[in-house]
Amino acid sequence: MRVIHYALAASMLVAAPAAIAQQQLSIATGGTGGTYYPYGGGLAELINEHIEGYDAVAEVTGASVENMGLVWRGDSDMALALADTVYQAYNGTGDFEGRQLDNIRALASVYPNAVQIVTMADSDIESLSDLTGKIVSVGAPGSGTELNARALLESNGISYDDFEERRLNFNETADALRDGDIDAGFWSVGPPTSSIMNLATTRDIRLIGLSDEEMANAQDEVPVFAPYELRADLYEGMESAVQTIGIPNILATSSELDEELAYQITKTLYEHTDQLIAIHPAANDTTVKFSVDSTPIAFHPGALRYYEEQGVEIADRQRP
């Protein structure tokens, strides 16, 4: 697995003996074309700068589903994953049927993803139902994007049998749209995302909106879905807002993570959010309120201690 060392420059300034003594922390993210990669890299920088004795790195992975396994096995110390994936892993449902990952805990819900369905501006695809008979990328295998795409489609009476699916990551989906190899593609990611931004600078694109009924159907299937509006001018040529669904992204860890370290990571996340915002605007949603309002599983005791210090109300389901 390729490991990205975001804080390499800072690490080089540390004397060799001290660097060796530092404890390594890994953060499982996603592909380079999404939001997990820069966000996780930014979090690694925060840890390296503000928590003494730790050297964090961000890993490029297949995203949500894979990341849960990495944390469960202890191959990664933390991971970013979609709330529905985390919920399924925690409860042993969905893709995790029969293999409950009961050591998964949350440090925070950090920002909402938005399901973004992109086609070319001259396409005849105007709605979800128009995907029937088309070639559609539903996201990388095992990714949160694919889980969200499948749930959205199936809750609205559309299955993979109704179109020709491709399982491509974000950059591959953008390239395939640009080259005319697919008709539409799904992203479930914090907007704006670089792969769509880059595509929109070279081709005229259109985002497909969802009806109130389609969103309600999706929410019946996945309770952690919520209405979300993609603002006008989010991407080049996007003249009006588009209605879709969003889902929180969770910074997850193992119950075995040291409690004091979990507390320090959570505290650092909120006390230095401005540094994350400078790396990616999705971090504007990284707030204590968003986290306690959105997290569907138990917090790690260290994170819970920080939230209780902030005087916020914690739901019973969020307590270990």
Name residue, tokens 């999706």: 218
Q: What is the pTM of this model?
A: 0.71
For domain 113-247, the CATH class is: alpha beta
What dotted CATH number matches 3-111+250-318? Answer: 3.40.190.10
Instruction: Count CB atoms within 10 A of the CB of residue 41.
Output: 21
- Where residue 20 falls among pLDDT bands split at 50, 70, 90? low
pLDDT digits (tens, 9 = 90+) for 181-190: 999 999 998 8
Residue 44 has pLDDT above 50, yes or no: yes
Average pLDDT, the chain: 91
The Cα 225–Cα 211 span in angstroms is 14
User: How is the chain split into domains, by residue range?
Assistant: 3-111+250-318, 113-247
- When comparing pLDDT for 154 and 82, which is higher? 154
**Which has the minimum average pLDDT: 3-17, 222-236, 265-279?**
3-17
> How are beta strands 135-137 and 184-189 bridged, if at all?
parallel
- Where residue 19 falls among pLDDT bands split at 50, 70, 90? very low
Q: What percent of the chain has pLDDT over 70?
A: 94
Residue 17 has pLDDT above 50, yes or no: no
Please tell me if the domain spanning 3-111+250-318 has the same topology as the one spanning 113-247. yes
The token pair at 167 is 């399982």
The Cα 299–Cα 257 span in angstroms is 12
- Where residue 144 falls among pLDDT bands split at 50, 70, 90? confident
- Where residue 228 falls among pLDDT bands split at 50, 70, 90? confident
